[in-house]
Amino acid sequence: MQLADLETPQLILDRERLDRNIERLRTRLAPFGVSLRPHVKTNKSADVTRRLGGTDTPLTVSTLKEAEYFLDHGWRDILYAVGMAPSKLPHAERLIRRGARLTIILDNEETAEAVAAFAGARGLDLPVLIEIDTDGHRSGVRPEDEALLRIGARLRGAPGQGAWLAGVLTHSGESYNCRSHEAIEACAEQERAGAVRAAERLRADGHAAPVVSVGSTPTAHFARSLEGVTEVRAGVYVFFDLVMHGVGVCAVEDIALSVLCTVIGHQREKGWLITDAGWMAMSRDRGTARQPVDQGYGLVCDEAGRLIPDLIMADANQEHGIVRHRGDPALTPMLPVGTLLRIVPNHACATAAQFGAYTVVAGGTEVQANWPRFSGWA
């Protein structure tokens, strides 16, 4: 079967690029002696995740549904890397009783108290990481904050005995705003140093705190030192996208994901091609709008994945895309109705989430496989 045999829009995954991206980070991290714990929130697919490694690969997830799905598919060592809500503890317990080696995170005393009480009452072995805020980006407690030790004090269990402090976790969200390799290196060092410092303070306070977990796709690719770090997390690197290209982490030719669409009409005076991939297919993510080069809703390739110079998806309605020349609409090639195009997305996590499956190719236009993916929370 060929791409031309499919109804559009479709989510296309180039397996050759996927495998190359996976190998690149594996090779890059090998000398550091750290564990890689991929974040599967990007791919939400057992088929994609199998390319990352067997079911003994430690995983990071962003929802308990991801944890449950990957547990169902054989993975057991799972880190749920969003601050625990006490109301989700019964769900976490069900996963642990079914065999998950689930680690959770939190960043405040109230949650630590609720988690410790629940794990104690239910006799659960529940490792906990304290989330550290190393760049002011989102959640987490600062490495030097007094609250850090107070939170740790709530987690005085030991492995096998209730909730216990397994270590610390941080994420350099600010690394997405970097514009140079030097800036990413600086973010990576800030991420590392802050996490290690927090772990040292907890250890000085009597905790074993063996785990120091850091990571983001940019910092994982450019960190110069990972001293004191035990594991690195990254997610979008398996696909890459235009935001990561804008940060300087990948070439456009590394991006493994695109959306296949069909030209359905024209506005010739305006230099517009109208396609059947709108924001429902691409997502509303306009992550490159804040970068030096705004890519609209994405760059445009031909059916075989070859970039068409200066053609971008400039605007979107729910099921309509507007494609034109980036600079001068008079230069837009008036491709005939029925032409297949592939749009390279701003943000792989957001675009992939709009689809129920990946249509897999290997560099060409022949369909190799169909890999389902899931969505939702409950």
CB of 367 to a copy of itself, least distance (A): 13
Between 49 and 346, name the residue whose CB sits nearer to a copy of itself: 346
- Return all residues near 146 (Cβ < 8 A) that are at least 6 apart: none
What is the smallest separation between the CB atom of 349 and a copy of itself, expressed in angstroms?
6
Strands (E), 39-121: 59-61, 77-80, 101-106
Q: By the criterion CB under 8 A, which residues form the site for a copy of itself?
A: 4, 6-10, 41, 62-64, 82-88, 91, 106-108, 110-111, 114, 133, 136, 138-139, 173, 262, 264-267, 270, 274, 276, 279-281, 283-286, 317-320, 322, 336-338, 347, 349-350, 353-357, 375-378
Min separation Cβ 298 and a copy of itself, Å: 13
Residue number, 33 or 356, with CB nearest to a copy of itself: 356
CB-nearer residue toward a copy of itself: 27 or 378: 378
Smaller CB separation from a copy of itself, 114 or 166: 114
Q: Using DSSP bridges, classify how beta strands 125-132 and 161-170 pair: parallel, antiparallel or unpaired.
A: parallel
Going through 7-158 in order, the beta strands assigned E by DSSP cover: 10-14, 35-36, 59-61, 77-80, 101-106, 125-132, 156-158
Least distance (Å) from a copy of itself to the CB of residue 160? 27
Q: Which amino acid is at 165?
A: L
- Rounded distance between C-alpha atoms, residue 46 and residue 222, angstroms: 28
Smaller CB separation from a copy of itself, 19 or 113: 113
Find, among 259, 256, 345, 253, the residue nearest to 307 by Cα: 253
Give the shortest CB-44-to-a copy of itself separation in angstroms: 10
Cβ proximity to a copy of itself: between 161 and 368 the closer is: 368
Quickly list DSSP for 149-206: HHHHHT-EEETTEEEEEEEEEE--GGGGG--SHHHHHHHHHHHHHHHHHHHHHHHHTT
Shortest separation between residue 2's beta carbon and a copy of itself, angstroms: 12
